[in-house]
Structures are given as C-alpha cells and as structure tokens.
Copies of this chain bind each other. A is one copy, B any other.
Amino acid sequence: MASSGFRPLDDKSLIEYIKATPALSSKLANQLDGLQIKEVGDGNLNFVYIVISSSGSFVIKQALPYIRCIGESWPMTKERAYFEATALREQRRWCSDHVPEVYHFDREMALIGMRYLEPPHIILRKGLIAGIEYPLLAEHMSEFMARTLFFTSLLYHDTTEHKRAVAEFCGNVELCRLTEQVVFSDPYKVSQYNRWTSPYLDRDAEAVREDNILKLEVAELKSMFCERSQALVHGDLHTGSVMVTPDSTQVIDPEFGFYGPMGFDIGAFLGNLILAYFAQDGHADQVNDRKTYKEWILKAIEQTWNLFHKKFTALWDEHRNGSGEAYLPEIYNNSELQLLTQKKYMQGLLHDTLGFGAAKMIRRIVGVAHVEDFESIVDASKRANCERQALVFAKMLLKERRKFQAITEVVLAVQQEQS
C-alpha cells in the first residue's frame, strides 16, 4: 500500500486506495470490477462510503480535519479516527455481538475500513421515529454497556493497564472538548451555535440560561466528565449511534471514546430513548396514536437499566477473584459487604446516569445539535410542545436525580410529566 501523507478520498481515488490495500481488496475477493461506491452523506463529522461488489462489501469512513456538517470553519483533528478505530476494536473485544469488525485502519489517512451493516439495518433513531418495536434492544444494549464498561473499569483492570489506557485516550482531547462545549456549556449560556424552536421556546431557553440550581448541578457533571476515568466510554451513545434490525443491534461511531464516567454512556442512551418518548405525540396520527409504542419505549428504558444492572453485577461477581484492583477479595470478603458495595456502586451509577441523561436531553433541545425525533415534527407548535415536555422533565431529573432509587420511579415520572 502506497500511502504518503493525508489526502481526502473521492469515489475515484477510493478505488485506487482499495486496490492498493490487501486488507480491503481481499474482502472483495480481489474482484474490483463493477464496484458500487455510495457516499452516505449523512455523517455529521466524517465522510462515509459504502463499497459493495458481487463478492463482498465494507464501509470506508474517513475523518477530515474539520467537522463535516459545519465545514472548515470548525476544525477538528482527524486523529479522532485513530481513537474511533481503537475504541471499536476494544469494544468488539469485549462485545463482538454488538460491535462491527474493523478490517483496516490507516492512521495517516484517518481512514477506517469496517463491516458494512447491510439492510435491513437502519439507524435506531429512525426506527423509533417510525414506531418500530425492537424486542431485543434492551437485551442487546444492556449487554453492550455492561461488557464494554465493566471490562475497561478497575473492576476488571489492574491499575497498571488502567492508567496506560487512560493515558492513551487522553490524546482524544479535542473530541472531549467538543462534548464539554456542546453538552455542558453552550446550552447554559448565549452561544451562536444554540438554537431552539423559536419563538415557542424562547422563554424556555432563557430559563435554562438563568437557572442557578441547574447550572450548579451541570458543573458537577462536567467535572465528573473531565476528571473521572472510570471506564472506556463510547462517548456519544445516542440512538443515532446504534444500527438495528429486529435481530441485530450494532453500536458504531465511538470517535468520542475516552476514559470517562460510565453514566455518560448509559445516560446518553436512556436520555435519547426518553427524547424519543416525548416526540411520539408529534408523530401520532389517525392510523396510529402511538400509545402502545410509548409504552414499549418506557419498557425498553426500564429493561435496559435493569438488565444492565443484572449483567454488570453478574460480571462483577464472576470476576471477583480476577485482576481487578478496586475491590480486593481479601478485603471484600463477606457476602453482606459485597452486597453493600455493589448496592452503593450501582446507586451512584444510576444517579450519574440520570444526571448525564438529563444533560444530554437538554442540549438536544436548546443546544447546537438537535435530534430527528423532534426535527421531523413539521408543525413547529406541536414540536415545541413535545420539546417543552422533554425539557421540563430533564431539568427536574438533573436537579432531583439523587431522589430516584430505581428506574421504575424514573419511568413513572416520565409518564406523569405527560398526564
């Protein structure tokens, strides 16, 4: 493979690149005639090409040194591709059922070649907007989160491997900074990037910027995000980073990956499910009032956390005598104490999850990047009503998160917000 320096690929140069790269061309049985190449075009940050031949397929993802959806005016290191590839491989190591395989990574080109998630895989968010139930979603996502978070935490790592991994992902600082800005800062101040459904939510957006208690709580979450190296988090685990069929759930796009608080991932996922819930009324019509679907979403939220809890603590029990250095078996040596420590740990994790989940909801309503769940509601007044309900709920959740003892209480509070 002849690669010298970075160059952005296009349909044509991509073919040359594939020809010169055995790890890719072999996936097509070295048969490159009649190759179909399609630029996906909906990537927020990167260029994504689907490459299909009669004998195989893959996806090529190339990071350019700026944020695609904004343009060259917002520079962003293409080194993010390195962290994405590294995170994908690490997550697949622990959860191969739900993470696509990386076939090839070229650091200089900031280019990843990976499995093409063939139809009927669609982005989960689109499925949620369409009102499709995914009976295995909670099972799969709880599996992904329990395994990737457990095996990269000090419950499994010894200190030496943990600090090595933490240090490596400190290099992904530009992406961490972006999160800090768009999740924990911009929504709480006047920013050129913020937007909301105006004029309906003008007062609501202002209220967020003037809410001292909310800002006090957000500061705590931001500190945790910046300072706490608990596990390798995906870093952007919303419903747009998950591809699904009724049988398959695949988590993609961990370019924001770093060692951070576990609750940031779990919160991102649950928070986006709650957003999907509050958006349903905007998608209801005479054919489908979405009532049943809303119940299913709540069930998915409840099951995801409860299954996560079950799987995570099961892994903990299973590896109690392993290399993890957080709770040495000679110290945590009786079942009462083991129960107490797990209960305290999981309670803290639930509160982190609710806090981060709420922050992720708020930023999707009054920050720079919105979600299709709401954006696809054409009637602005109707959309604003949905968004306001979600915002009111998220503000309450962020402030009152420590009062919730179980996910059922959270689900109940979601329902009450709408009644």
Contact = CB atoms under 8 A, between A and B. Distances in A.
Contact of A228 (B162, B227, B344): B227
A340 interface: yes
A419 interface: no
Given A170-B163, A212-B336, A327 B228 contact: no
Contacts of A223: 154, 326
A167 B171 contact: yes
Interface in A171-190: 171, 173-174, 176-177, 180, 185, 188-190
Given A154-B223, A163-B170, A167-B170, A216 B330 contact: no
A162 B177 CA distance: 11
A331 B215 contact: yes
B173 A219 contact: no
B173 A160 contact: yes
A199 B360 CA distance: 57
B160 A177 contact: yes
B163 A325 contact: no
A223 B345 CA distance: 10
A230 interface: yes
B326 A190 contact: no
Given A212-B336, A326-B226, A331-B189, A163 B176 contact: yes
A94 interface: no
Q: Is the interface of A mostly helix, strand, loop or mixed?
A: helix
Contacts of A340: 212, 216
B216 A337 contact: yes
B185 A159 contact: no
A401 to B, nearest CB: 15
B341 A219 contact: yes
A126 interface: no
A337 B215 contact: yes
Could you say which of A166, A190, A331, A337 has the most chain B C-beta atoms within 10 Å of its C-beta?
A: A331
A170 B159 contact: no
Contacts of A327: 219
Nearest to A339: B212
Contacts of A215: 331-332, 337, 341
Given A212-B340, A215-B332, A226-B326, A177 B189 contact: no
A229 interface: yes
Interface string A104-146: 0000000000000000000000000000000000000000000
Contact of A226 (B154, B164, B168): B154
Interface string A404-418: 000000000000000
Contacts of A344: 216, 219-220
A328 interface: yes
A168 B167 CA distance: 7
A336 B215 CA distance: 12
A382 interface: no
Contact of A190 (B173, B219, B330): B330
Interface in A217-250: 219-220, 222-223, 226-230
Given A154-B227, A166-B170, 5 more contacts: A163-B176, A166-B167, A167-B171, A220-B344, A222-B326
5 contacts: A159-B226, A166-B170, A185-B328, A189-B331, A223-B326
